[in-house]
Structures are given as C-alpha cells and as structure tokens.
Amino acid sequence: MLVTGASRGIGRAVATAFAAAGDRVAIHHRSSPDLAEDLRAGLPGEGHVVVQADVADPAAVRRMVDEAAGALGGLDVVVNNAGVFLAHPVTEVSYEEWQAAWHDTLATNLLGAANVAWCAVRHMSRGGRIVNVSSRGAFRGEPDSPAYGASKAGMNAMGQSLAIALAPHGITVGTVAPGFVETDMTNEHLKAPRGDAIRAQSPFGRVAMPEEIAAAVVYLASPAAEWASGTIIDLNGASYLRS
C-alpha cells in the first residue's frame, strides 16, 4: 500500500497503522527524506520502501506510483494524504499572491490526488481501495485559505465520482474529513493564545490525534468497508455538524 505525505502527521500515523496490521508500506515524501527513512526503519514488519515526488508534478507522480507498485508487487490500498495549506486572505494579498496560492494548492491537493488515483488504478486488482484525506474546511469554509477549502471540496466530489466509476472494477473509494488534528503543522496554532479557542470548537474540548484519523482510514481500506464506498466520514469531534 502507498501513503502520500507519509513522513509526518496524519500520513505517518496511517503508515504506522497499516504496518502494524501486517501491510508493506510505500512511504511517500516530497522533501523529507530523513523523516521518511526514519519512519521506514521504525515500522514493524519488512519490505517497506520510501518513494519521492512532488505530487504537483504529473510526471513525477506517475514515476513515483510506478516505483511503489514495482517494489510492492502491485497496489491494494492508496491513501491520498499529501497536501499544502497556504494562507491567502482575499483582502490582504496581492493579485499575484492570490493566483500563486490557488495554483499551488489545487496542483497539490486536488490535481495531485487525482493523478495519484489515475496511476494507482493501473496497478490495482479487484478489491483495491483508495482513501482520500479531505478536511472539515470543505464544508464550513476556510476564509483565510479559500483555495484549501475549495481543493478539499473538489477532492470530496472526485472521490464520489470515482467511487461510482470504479465499483464495476471492484475498487472502492472513501474519504475522511478531519477537523483540527494535533500534528507538527498545527502545533504552532495549538500552542498559541488561540489554542484554547481551537480546542473549544469541539464539545470534547480537544483536537484529534493522528491515530484517530488513521483508524478511520484503516476501516475504509478494509474488506468490510466495501459498502461504504463513496462515503465521507467526518472526524471533527462534533465541532462542525452538517446535514
């Protein structure tokens, strides 16, 4: 199985959970070879590999997915987790900054995930699983990072479209939509004065741990989850409820 953006945060927890269940994992990173190798060395089991690509580069994606499939003898599970979060409030950035943020965010979060899926399907047999890591922001909006919210909304729609298209081939597609998760990326926000307000968004008074997101990903990739294909699982501790 292949996990994109696996060197840290949610991706690292996902790779660890699958390895603990006996899977061989292809650990993707863009520019963190030391973190990726450290994870590979610490995973239980054998046969794990590290692969590198900028998922915003279509040619690099194809090479990376082919490399992962070659090393593992095919792909049964692919987790689209790689993503970027760029601040670009519409009233505070220049037109050039606005365009760059939209281009870079969509290229990685949406087009990159779509390209990974296209390439991965070529290596999947019946029973394959694609799991996309979306966001609460797809539903409630991201006023300071609108391209991020839009990219995740697009990922949700893409996942549901692919769930229909790939069902005749025995491949399922599911999506998880986390709220705030305690990772290296969010620690600066959680440790800042606004950290208490962020935790208070959930009636549980906390944010998620990466392992909680990984558990849902493992479920969607399991044989028991075939009938959940096309679903989007909210993982936000009741901080945002949608109808």
C-alpha distance from residue 243 to each of 25, 74, 140, 180 (Å): 36, 38, 12, 20
Query: Which residues of the chain fall short of a pLDDT of 50?
Result: none
Q: Tell me what pLDDT residue 185 has.
A: 73
Q: Catalytic residues, which ones?
A: 148
Q: Tell me what pLDDT residue 121 has.
A: 98
Domains of the chain: 2-233 (3.40.50.720)
Q: Are 172 and 228 in contact (CB under 8 A)?
A: yes
Q: Tell me what pLDDT residue 36 has.
A: 98
- Please list, in sequence order, all residues whose beta carbon lies within 8 angstroms of the beta carbon of residue 220, skipping any fewer than 6 positions away: 129, 131, 172, 174, 175, 176, 228, 231, 233
Q: Tell me what pLDDT residue 71 has.
A: 98
